[in-house]
């Protein structure tokens, strides 16, 4: 981690104490940040009496199996599905708040604009979502 | 209201509590060992956290807490859980309680001493050293390796070197000697941090908000915390004044790491160069206050009170 952090060349999502590819945040922190970024978020609830062992199971904002759509932010650009402008701006703002040069943002899928609901974020998204344009953007950031 | 979390008899927590009593501030003490009479609900919506904490049947809205001072220990070592098997309901309850508390503290719009994410840099000394250097402090020449030959060359170059762990787990800093040379092969299974020894005076600086408290330590030991064990006399501590420049750099370092309260370990050389070894995000300041009378607990209490 220290070596990755020390690399002098451009690094997308430089290593951090919370993760080797940038901060790997808990879902409670992601949903909090997403709300601050202006993205529509579901109510997050966590209780000390919850019967969940987070050492073996992750908390989710939506039930397992909920269809999701992923957008990916690279710098100032967003790749993936066509997004309403308000959602697009929220994605960029979330990446800024998270200090992430590369960020995958998941939404629970719905046909209407009002149905775009934040479902999670990761500094290590599946890059296939953005295809060649995304790879070109990454290359521009790196070289 | 201020929330204090931990074990009431632990010295730093006890001292902050006493200081709050002295100033008449309203606080709630959450005794970690009594986890079975507590529960907490955290809710987050539109970037805002709400919820409630219940202790012994009394309920407190989370929004009413304006500051949090946490000295929570690893729940696995609580005496109340000693005989509990892994996965027992008691262990699960305790773990979930602390986890929910921590999750709330990360996002709460309150003065938090300190948030977990900000404390993260201390988990890796070489990582933190790189951050420290950005704030104008010197770092001793350092070698982290599992290669004995590199250590021999490093020692030959610097003559006197010390070694310590890389991680945030406390280790005793030792001067590397000829006996260590005989067991140097052991590092092949444990990469270790070696540093050039720096001559000078150990200074611990506690930063609290915008205040600094500097303590100089006189010792003939390599690690003053273990001076007696290392064959020397007990360390002698005295309050000292920092130059304005050094005090400002310490404050900027703490703020830059996101720490409202920190213990900064310096060595100041005879020509006034300040080497920084580490920034402790959960400093056991009671040791320094007990020896010098510096009002560190009072400053922490004042910070929690919003001053």
Read off the pLDDT of residues B21-30 as tens digits, 9 standing for 90 and up. 999 999 999 9
Nearest-CA distance A140 → chain B (Å):
27
List B residues 120-159 in contact with A (Cβ-Cβ < 8 A): 120-121, 123-124, 126-127, 130, 144
Residue B108, SS3?
A: coil
Domain span at A116? 12-45+59-142
* Residue matched to tokens 């050293």: B129
CA B288 to chain centre: 13
B37 touches chain A (CB under 8 A): no
CA–CA min distance B127, chain A (Å): 5
- Of B194, B254, B184, B192, whose CA–CA distance to B222 is shortest? B194
Distance CA B105, CA B238 (A): 35
* CATH number for B186: 3.30.1490
Q: Residue for token digits 């150990």? A: B202
CB contact under 8 A, A35 and B93: no
CATH of the domain at A116: 3.30.470
Nearest to A120 by CA among A71, A49, A56: A71
Examine the fold and report which residue of B150, B169, B196 is the final residue of a domain before the chain moves on.
B196
**B167 vs A11, more confident:** A11
Across the interface, whether the CB atoms of A46 and B41 are under 8 A apart is answered yes
Element (H, E) at B203: strand B201-208
- Residue B232 pLDDT exceeds 60: yes
Which residues have CB under 8 Å from B179's CB, separation 6+? none
- Residue B169: pLDDT band (50, 70, 90) is confident
Q: Which residues of A touch B117 (CB under 8 A)?
A: 17-18, 23
Same domain, B209 and B124: yes
DSSP β-bridge partners for residue B111: B67
pLDDT grade, residue B167 (50/70/90)?
confident
Examine the pLDDT at A114 and tell me if it is beyond 70: no
Across B19-96, the runs of DSSP E, i.e. the strands, are: 27-31, 38-45, 48-55, 58-61, 67-70
Å from A14 to nearest chain B CA?
A: 12
Q: Which of B39, B45, B87 faces A48 most closely, judged by CB atoms?
A: B39
Q: Domain of B23? A: 2-113
Question: How many A-B residue pairs are in contact by the CB < 8 A criterion?
Answer: 90
Query: What is the tally of structural domains in chain A?
Result: 1
Which residues from chain A sit within 8 angstroms of residue B191, using beta carbons? none
Judgement on whether residues B192 and B299 belong to the same structural domain of the protein: no
**Interface contact A17-B124, CB threshold 8 A:** yes
Angle formed at CA B61 by CA B58 and CA B66, multiple of 5 degrees: 115
Q: Which residue has the tokens 């070289």?
A: A143
ipTM: 0.93
Q: Which two tokens stand for residue B44?
A: 């987050």
Q: How many domains does chain B have?
A: 3
């Amino acid at each position: 981690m220290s070596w990755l952090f020390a690399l002098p060349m451009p690094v997308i999502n430089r290593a951090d104490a919370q993760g080797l590819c940038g901060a790997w945040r808990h879902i409670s922190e992601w949903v909090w940040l997403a709300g601050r970024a202006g993205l529509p978020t579901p109510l997050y609830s966590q209780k000390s009496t919850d019967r969940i062992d987070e050492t073996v199971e992750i908390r989710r904002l939506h039930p397992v199996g909920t269809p999701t759509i992923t957008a990916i932010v690279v710098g100032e650009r967003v790749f993936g599905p066509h997004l309403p402008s308000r959602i697009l701006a929220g994605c960029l703002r979330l990446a800024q708040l998270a200090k992430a040069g590369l960020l995958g943002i998941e939404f629970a899928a719905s046909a209407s604009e009002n149905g775009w609901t934040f479902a999670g974020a990761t500094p290590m998204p599946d890059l296939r979502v953005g295809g060649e344009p995304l790879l070109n953007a990454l290359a521009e950031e790196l070289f | 209201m201020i929330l204090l979390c931990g074990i009431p008899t632990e010295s730093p927590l006890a001292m902050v509590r006493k200081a709050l009593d002295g100033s008449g501030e309203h606080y709630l003490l959450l005794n970690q060992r009594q986890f079975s009479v507590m529960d907490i609900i955290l809710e987050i919506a539109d970037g805002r956290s709400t919820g409630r904490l219940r202790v012994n049947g009394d309920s407190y809205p989370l929004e009413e807490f304006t500051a949090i001072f946490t000295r929570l220990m690893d729940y696995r070592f609580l005496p109340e859980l000693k005989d509990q098997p892994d996965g027992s309901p008691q262990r699960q309850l305790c773990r979930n309680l602390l986890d929910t508390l921590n999750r709330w503290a990360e996002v709460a719009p309150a003065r938090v001493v300190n948030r977990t994410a900000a404390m993260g840099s201390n988990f890796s000394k070489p990582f933190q050293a790189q951050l420290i250097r950005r704030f104008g402090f010197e770092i001793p020449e350092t070698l982290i390796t599992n290669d004995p030959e590199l250590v021999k060359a490093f020692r030959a170059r610097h003559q006197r070197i010390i070694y310590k762990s890389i991680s945030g787990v406390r280790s005793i800093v030792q001067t590397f000697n000829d006996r260590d040379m005989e067991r140097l092969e052991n590092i092949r299974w444990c990469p270790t941090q070696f540093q050039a020894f720096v001559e000078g005076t150990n200074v611990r600086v506690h930063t609290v908000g915008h205040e600094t408290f500097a303590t100089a330590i006189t010792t003939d030991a390599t690690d003053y915390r273990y001076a007696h064990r290392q064959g020397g006399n007990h360390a002698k501590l005295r309050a000292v004044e920092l130059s304005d420049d050094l005090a400002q750099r310490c404050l900027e370092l703490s703020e830059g790491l996101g720490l409202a309260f920190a213990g900064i370990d310096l060595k100041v050389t005879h020509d006034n160069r300040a080497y920084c070894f580490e920034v402790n995000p959960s400093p056991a300041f009671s040791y320094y206050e007990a020896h010098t009378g510096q009002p560190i607990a009072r400053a922490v209490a004042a910070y929690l009170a919003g001053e």
